[in-house]
């Protein structure tokens, strides 16, 4: 193998270039975040240490090695060891509940000397591999329902353990990835319809109970659903099951709400009305929208963001780093950033569509769904379209664990793209 083959992975070059440019963009934004703002405000402490930039640069090099290794690992071998990899990640998640390091009220890390490992990030990789392996082993249509249930169990176990940490944002990643993979697998439309309508029932019940404090919105939805079910030509059993699922989901929401932590409840309530706690839980969302809005079309120029520089914007190097891009580089800068993610997503969908082996197809679609969910939810949070859940922007936000895992997943996607026509 020549030097070029050693230093660069095989597979889709467009996806690799998008990864490289996103990592460089992350370093550029983190340098800006750690630089003091100057000018009429004189020199002010940025509030984020320069060590953040240095650590991210080191993690980028480690992640590059991880990407290269993932791009070259034999996929058949990966399929064969899916079960032990998955069980190992579950073991780590169980250890978190016993000996995990507690930071800021959350117990999400294992201490390994000076390093901290976040097992939930590793679990994302092993979960996608395990689910792809399960779905790929379904030999005929008669086994589809049993296979779907087994894959659901594979998803539920890590999701419940991560909710216990608690980490609502990361747990939702597992649910979203499972939905994407099971949809690609070919789950019956009635099941998707049932899940979708149940989600609508849950949202409307939450609004009725906690925001409007009136029962009529959810009651109106149930009456509308009854009318629709009366008109559609389904058998009575399917109608009863769908209606019962919506009623049960709606009734269960108040119990689920009581199980959430106080700060999680406040974040959701503040999403509907940020001004209810403008200097508390609503502060991040308000300042994020101010930062993005102040950027306009072309931004305030690199290193000159005042929301970032004056430390008005919390978590500007992690969950709200997209707001810094919006402020300093403006609308066009965010379009370029999202365009690079779009390259990964669209090329990844093409890889999944043409892959010959079932395991490779499901692996590819799981990875694509991972990137879609992370990007869409993070951008929606920073623009005020979703409540704050603490989900990073992959390859951009500061954080070694997420950068490494996102790079490894992209390496696996490159691996699949290089084996598109394997028998």
Residue with the larger pLDDT of the pair 6 and 131: 131
- Summarised one tens digit per residue, pLDDT across range 294-320 is 777 877 777 776 655 445 566 677 778
More confident: 337 or 283: 337
What is the chain's length? Answer: 423
Q: What pLDDT sits at residue 351?
A: 94
Contact yes or no for 270/285 (Cβ under 8 A): yes
Partners of 102 in the beta sheet?
107
| pLDDT above 60: residue 190 | yes
CA gap 120, 107 in Å, rounded: 11
Contacts of 261 (CB under 8 A, 6+ apart): 105, 166
Residue 243 or residue 371, greater confidence: 371
What are the boundaries of each domain within the chain? 3-418
Q: For residues 9 and 215, which has the higher predicted lDDT (pLDDT)?
A: 9
User: Once rounded to an integer, what is the mean pLDDT over residues 264-283?
Assistant: 60
pLDDT in tens, 96-150: 888 877 776 667 777 776 677 788 889 999 999 999 999 998 755 557 778 888 8
Beta carbons within 8 Å of 237's beta carbon, 6+ residues apart: none
Q: What are phi and psi of 393, to 5 degrees?
A: -90, 110
364 vs 342: CA distance, rounded Å = 15
The mean-pLDDT minimum among 94-98, 191-195, 284-288, 380-384 falls in: 284-288
Respond yes or no on whether the N-terminal peptide bond of residue 265 is cis (omega within 30° of 0): no
Average pLDDT, the chain: 81
> Which percentage of the chain shows pLDDT scores above 70?
80
pLDDT tens for 33-72 read 887 765 554 555 566 778 888 999 999 999 999 999 999 9
What average pLDDT does this structure show over 165-187?
Answer: 86
**pLDDT at 423 (0 to 100):** 44
Find the range with the poorest average confidence among 8-12, 278-282, 303-307, 376-380: 278-282
Identify the pLDDT of residue 271. Answer: 61
């Amino acid at each position: 193998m020549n030097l070029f083959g050693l230093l660069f992975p095989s597979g889709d070059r467009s996806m690799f270039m998008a990864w490289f440019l996103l990592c460089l963009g992350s370093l550029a934004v983190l340098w800006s975040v750690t630089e003091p703002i100057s000018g009429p405000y004189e020199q002010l402490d940025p509030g984020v240490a320069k060590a953040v930039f240095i650590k991210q640069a080191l993690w980028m090099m480690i992640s590059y090695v991880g990407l290269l290794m993932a791009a070259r690992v034999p996929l058949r071998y990966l399929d064969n060891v899916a079960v032990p990899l998955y069980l190992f990640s579950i073991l780590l998640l169980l250890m978190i509940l016993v000996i995990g390091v507690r930071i800021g009220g959350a117990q999400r890390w294992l201490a390994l000397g000076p390093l901290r490992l976040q097992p939930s990030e590793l679990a994302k990789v092993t979960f996608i591999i395990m689910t792809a392996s399960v779905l790929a082993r379904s030999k005929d249509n008669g086994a589809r329902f049993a296979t779907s249930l087994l894959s659901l169990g594979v998803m539920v176990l890590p999701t419940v353990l991560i909710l216990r940490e608690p980490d609502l944002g990361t747990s939702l990643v597992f649910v979203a990835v499972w939905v994407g993979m099971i949809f690609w697998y070919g789950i019956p439309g009635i099941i998707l319809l049932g899940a979708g309508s149940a989600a609508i029932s849950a949202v409307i019940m939450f609004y009725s109970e906690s925001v409007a404090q009136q029962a009529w919105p959810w009651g109106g939805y149930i009456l509308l659903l009854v009318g629709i079910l009366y008109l559609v030509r389904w058998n009575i059993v399917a109608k009863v099951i769908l209606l019962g699922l919506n009623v049960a989901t709606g009734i269960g929401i108040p119990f689920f709400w009581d199980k959430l932590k106080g700060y999680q409840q406040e974040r959701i309530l503040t999403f509907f009305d940020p001004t209810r706690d403008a200097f508390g839980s609503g502060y991040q969302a308000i300042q994020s929208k101010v930062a993005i809005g102040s950027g306009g079309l072309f931004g305030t120029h690199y290193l000159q963001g005042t929301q970032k520089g004056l430390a008005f914007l919390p978590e500007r190097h992690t969950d709200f780093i997209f707001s810094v891009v919006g402020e300093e580089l403006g609308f066009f800068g965010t379009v370029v950033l999202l365009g690079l993610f779009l390259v990964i997503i669209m090329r990844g969908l093409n890889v999944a569509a043409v892959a010959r082996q079932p395991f490779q197809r499901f692996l590819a679609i799981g990875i694509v769904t991972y990137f879609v969910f992370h990007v869409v939810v993070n951008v929606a949070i920073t623009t005020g379209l979703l409540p704050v859940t603490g989900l990073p922007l992959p390859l951009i936000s500061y954080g070694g664990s997420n950068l490494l895992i996102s790079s490894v997943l992209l390496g696996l996607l490159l691996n699949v793209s290089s084996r598109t026509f394997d028998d």
